[in-house]
Amino acid sequence: MQVARELPAKFLFMEQLKLDNQLCFPFYSISRLIIRRYQPFLDQLGITYPQYLVLLVLWENDNQPVNDIAKRLFLQTNTVTPLLKRMESQGIITREKATDDERKVIISLTDNGKEMELLAAEIPDKLTEEMNNFSKDELKALHSTLYRMIDQLK
């Protein structure tokens, strides 16, 4: 009889460990699938998805410290720095020490980086078109829900 009492608890424990019962897995999967959809557009620009995210931040507000970019992307500066170095070598951005604090590095768009904004402007609409099984209202609601989750988790 003792074994019979242990089975239900173990069964419940095993249920919660099934992949399909994980909250994180659909997020992981959708992230990978969406990035895959972005890739052909980004290939035309010669950039990666993380570089695209950095560019989005700089297109909103150019001349930002590395720390501010990292915070905006929910990343550590040691993750962003190698990415920024590659972007600098590609001629997309410049990295310069701040005049008020030499420990601070300011990231600025080059002319090439600024021109890429015009080329990238159509990417969001093209991705939205690919999500044509969802109404614009559904996508807006999902967007809002995801940002509420981000706010709660950070």
Q: What confidence tens digit (pLDDT) does each residue in 75-111 have?
A: 999 999 999 999 999 999 999 999 988 889 999 999 9
- Report the predicted TM-score, pTM, of the whole model to 2 decimal places: 0.86
**pLDDT bracket for residue 1 (50, 70, 90):** very low
User: In terms of residue numbers, what domain contains 105?
Assistant: 45-121
Q: Is 107 exposed, middle or buried (0-12, 13-18, 19+ CB in 10 A)?
A: buried
Burial class of residue 54 (count of CB atoms within 10 Å of its CB; 0-12, 13-18, 19+): buried
**SS3 assignment, position 103:** coil
In a domain, 112, yes or no: yes
Collect all residues with Cβ–Cβ distance below 8 Å to 21 and sequence separation of at least 6: 15
Say if 51 falls within a structural domain: yes
Check whether residue 106 and residue 133 sit in a common domain. Answer: no
